[in-house]
Structure 1
């Protein structure tokens, strides 16, 4: 059965008159003359089939039918107002659901500051935060299951995605505390040639994996990888257990594990790039507002070091 169209202007006039119980005051509040108000009420009464107000000299009162209609009319108008406000908030990116992928190590650098800044500006937005390595984030951006990614070493051949640099971070050597090289302040990468390595699998982040192995190759050896781990915290734990050594982004020093030492490397010029990623054709206000909170600095000209204004992205704490 087809539902009748809601007479919203008539309901509005009815509610205002029910609150004022005076045609003159109600008309003034609505910004109309009294005759058009009377016509709106008559039309609504015709729809109902019964009078909604009893009228007498200097007196207006709700009839039983009017008293029955008033709560429903208020619910309709309130629901409509709430719906319009919610639609405006979502349309303007001030509400809704934003899905963000992030590499676990970025919880030690840019992620806390980003979430804090965005939450302060847009408290009504629901943030769906998903921990993912770089390759799964790229796939999730393509299939639409996340809206924005925070990742390391983005690929260079992604025409459908945009990447903007937010941080460039040096590398450190991750060593068992008892390792002879742990006594040095900085470790030449070439001196790791005889040690077994623990690394992230290449599938988790191909460019970062290749960058790390490339540091070794540039120092004259191919790393002997004896164990893979998907998360850097696990890599550090396995190093602490004596399974090998590793090279990792410097922010990993914030992971405090007994039996693990972090040392700078020589040469120390290499940097790992942290970027925010989104779909090129995504014009949604939610994504635009997040990018404004990140204030991304695109391309290698952005320079090294943390993004200004981000809490928690300063240099790593000493051992």
Structure 2
């Protein structure tokens, strides 16, 4: 047996009349005349097949069928109101789900403050955080596995993705604490020419790898890489054991290892670029909300310069 369709306006009229138990009061509350209200109730009763109200002179009460319908009517209208509110919240970017990829080293710099500020602005939003190196982030963005990425050394040109610079961070030398160069406050990269290096493998961050090796080549040598490690914390641990030295973003200094020394590299132009990446055609309204939060966190106002993609980079 087919279930009769119950139009929501008729349910609303029924619910108001069930609460008021007076046609005149219910009509006034609904903002309609009494005859249209009576017509709505009659149409609903025809669909149900039974009277929903018992009508007596000067008195209206719910019938047994009306009492049976009342909880379902309330649930239907409440569910609709909740659904409309949720749809408006998602559509306006106040709630919904945002999948974020981030480079592990950024958990030591921009990520905690960014997530804290974003959650304060949009407490209804659901955040799905994924720790990923740069190359997997770019692939995940193109595959729509994540919505936004925070990564190092983004590509100069990408037809599918947009990038905005978040910060420019200096590199530091990572040395065993007992290394002779650890007695210096700062050093030149050329002083590491004869040292074995511990670095991230190129496959997980090709541009960062090339940036570090390129700086070494500018200093007059090709680094002799003795060990690879996927995470910077592992790189530091291997340096601590004496397997080599490294060059890393300055935020790595927050990894506290007693047997490791971090020293400034001169000149200070040896820096790495951190950027946010996203799909320019992404329709998730939370993406521009996170970009707004990044802009507010860094400067408090939008910058009017644009990068090669037409995106607005943060001033360094």
Same fold, judged at TM 0.5 (above): yes
What residue is the counterpart of 1:155 in the other structure? 155
Secondary structure, counterpart of 1:187 in structure 2? strand
Encode CA deviations 1:12-47: one digit per residue, 9 max, x unaligned.
Answer: 000000000011110010000001001101111111
What residue is the counterpart of 1:57 in the other structure? 57
- Structure 1, unaligned runs of 5 or more: 305-319
Structure-to-structure mapping, 1:93-104, within 5 angstroms: 93-104=93-104
Structure-to-structure mapping, 1:17-96, within 5 angstroms: 17-96=17-96
What residue is the counterpart of 1:4 in the other structure? 4
Secondary structure, counterpart of 2:41 in structure 1? helix
Structure-to-structure mapping, 1:1-319, within 5 angstroms: 3-295=3-295, 299=307, 302-304=314-316
Partners of 1:292 and 1:157 lie apart in 2 by 23
Partners of 1:255 and 1:299 lie apart in 2 by 33
Q: Give the C-alpha shift of residue 3 in structure 1.
A: 4.7
Partners of 2:46 and 2:2 lie apart in 1 by 19
- Indicate how the Cα distance of structure 1 residues 280 and 2 shifts in structure 2: closer, same or farther if over 3 A, else same: farther
Let me know the Cα RMSD of the aligned residues: 1.4
What residue is the counterpart of 1:314 in the other structure? none
Q: Give the C-alpha shift of residue 215 in structure 1.
A: 1.2
Partners of 1:241 and 1:5 lie apart in 2 by 74
For normalisation by structure 2, the TM-score amounts to 0.93
Secondary structure, counterpart of 1:40 in structure 2? helix
Q: Give the C-alpha shift of residue 51 in structure 1.
A: 0.8
Encode CA deviations 1:130-186: one digit per residue, 9 max, x unaligned.
Answer: 000000000000000000000000012311100000100001000000000000000
Secondary structure, counterpart of 2:10 in structure 1? helix
Partners of 2:276 and 2:266 lie apart in 1 by 28
CA contact (8 A) 2:101 2:146 kept: yes
Partners of 2:269 and 2:50 lie apart in 1 by 85
CA contact (8 A) 1:168 1:303 kept: no
Q: Give the C-alpha shift of residue 267 in structure 1.
A: 2.1
In the TM superposition, structure 1's runs of 4+ consecutive aligned residues that sit over 2 Å from their partners are 1-6, 296-304
* Matched length: 304
Partners of 2:46 and 2:7 lie apart in 1 by 12
Secondary structure, counterpart of 1:98 in structure 2? strand
Secondary structure, counterpart of 1:233 in structure 2? helix
Secondary structure, counterpart of 1:14 in structure 2? helix
Q: Give the C-alpha shift of residue 5 in structure 1.
A: 2.6
Q: Give the C-alpha shift of residue 303 in structure 1.
A: 4.0
For normalisation by structure 1, the TM-score amounts to 0.92
- Structure 2, unaligned runs of 5 or more: 296-301
Q: Give the C-alpha shift of residue 2 in structure 1.
A: 5.6
CA contact (8 A) 2:4 2:48 kept: no
